[in-house]
Structure 1
Amino acid sequence: MVTPEARHILLYEASHNEEKVILDRDNSLVGFVHYRFTLEEGLPVLYVYEIQLESRVQGKGLGKFIMELLELIARKNCMSSIVLTVQKANVVAMNFYTSKLRYAISSISPSRVDPLIGAQKNYEILCKAFDNEAKAILEA
């Protein structure tokens, strides 16, 4: 998380008064995202290394908003895809990415590279490609 390539988005809870939203150092951190611009299979991708939200803010659309923001960041920076890793045991996250956000299990995921080895791994690599080349390579 501290390498020069690392990028972060910090999510704070805002306070409200009757007239405006207030954000200052006393607001509590409710989540963060760690991502990097990198290459996968020779393609420029935005790789989401970590996304964490406190349980009290989950299920309110914040995760979807953050992922849509990351897609916008990826597209604005001419990335071919977003790639991320999800633990197989995290069924809620797997469903969130694959059903709600339409991510696919990538062709570079262990289960797609070699199903026997993939069965032994506890994670999947998911992706959402933005162009035909990336779809052919990362989603094929």
Structure 2
Amino acid sequence: MESRRESENKKLKRSEILEKQKAIDQSIKAASAQTDQLASFPPFRCFNRNGLCVRLESGRGDKLSPYMKQCIQSLLKANMEGPYGSEWAAEEKVKRREMVAPEARYIFVHSNANEMKLDDASSPSPLLGFVHYRFTMEEEIPVLYLYEIQLDSSVQGKGLGKFLMHLIELIARKNHMGALVLTVQKANSLAMKFYMSKLRFVISSISPSRVNPLAGVENNYEILCKSFDPEAKAILEESG
């Protein structure tokens, strides 16, 4: 029979698990409730390097204008139709749904207003790139999940991508997320090299190739992560 002490220990453990879960839910809710993550990082509102001058602003999926939706779709198609190949038609439909989800959070990259002509001031500022991210949970760990980082070809190769990834990492850490997680197509070798060599991401323990190496070969993507604390590292990087 189970002793009284064992019963009490089980109740205490269940209570601790519930408290931990509640704390995680609250941290995700608090992070998602912030309307402008850039407010905490004023130096990141502008990028002015290597002959490129752009400004950044925050956004959310359920507040996108028709113009912004169109811009996002155009950038996605220009950058991702190639890597996805024949799967793009189906994937594009998925991305259209993800794009406008209430939990979707954005960093938009616009042409610097100061560079625009005065007679163009009333026109929408061109979208030169965007980051789509969400605060969520993976394996009971609060994470910032990077859904998309897309840049127009005219602003690539100037350090903007690395700048945006640094910003996203800062946002994750500030909001007490345990890790930064993203999905990348295996066919996108440049992106794989960028994340793993330059930014020190690793293939996560939840990636198909690590969950089941034999079945994982059939999947065309990897899940990468960058952990910020020992618990996240143990579960999302070293587990299994």
TM over 0.5: yes
1:76 maps to amino acid: K
Q: Does 1:118 align with 2:216?
A: yes
| TM-aligned CA distance change 1:74 to 1:121, over 3 Å | same
Q: Does 1:94 align with 2:192?
A: yes
Displacement after TM superposition at 1:5 (Å): 1.0
Q: Could you list the structure 1 runs, at least 4 aligned residues long, displaced by more than 6 angstroms after superposition.
A: none
User: Which whole-Å deviations, capped at 9, do the CAs of 1:83-127 have from their partners, x for residues lacking one?
Assistant: 000000000000000000000000000001111111000000000
Displacement after TM superposition at 1:53 (Å): 0.5
Tell me the SS of whatever aligns to 1:95. helix
How do 1:47-126 residues align onto structure 2 when only pairs under 5 Å count?
47-126=145-224
Pairwise CA RMSD: 1.4
Task: Choose from 114, 129, 133 the match for 2:227.
Answer: 129
Q: Does 1:8 align with 2:106?
A: yes
% same residue: 67
Distance 1:139 1:54 in 2: 32
Distance 2:129 2:185 in 1: 19
TM-score (structure 2 length as normaliser): 0.54
What runs of 5+ residues in structure 1 fail to find an aligned partner? 18-22
2:227 maps to amino acid: A
Q: Give 1 or 2 for the bigger CA radius of gyration.
A: 2
Tell me the SS of whatever aligns to 1:94. helix
Distance 2:100 2:126 in 1: 22
Asked which structure has the greater RCO (Cα within 8 Å, sep 6+), the reply is 1
User: Which whole-Å deviations, capped at 9, do the CAs of 1:33-73 have from their partners, x for residues lacking one?
Assistant: 11100000000000001111011111111110111000000
Tell me the SS of whatever aligns to 2:216. helix
Distance 1:82 1:24 in 2: 37
Displacement after TM superposition at 1:28 (Å): 1.4
Give the strand-richer structure, 1 or 2. 1
Distance 1:49 1:25 in 2: 28
Displacement after TM superposition at 1:27 (Å): 3.0
Distance 1:133 1:6 in 2: 26
Tell me the SS of whatever aligns to 1:120. coil
What runs of 5+ residues in structure 2 fail to find an aligned partner? 1-98, 116-120
Distance 1:105 1:120 in 2: 16
Displacement after TM superposition at 1:16 (Å): 4.5
Q: Does 1:139 align with 2:237?
A: yes
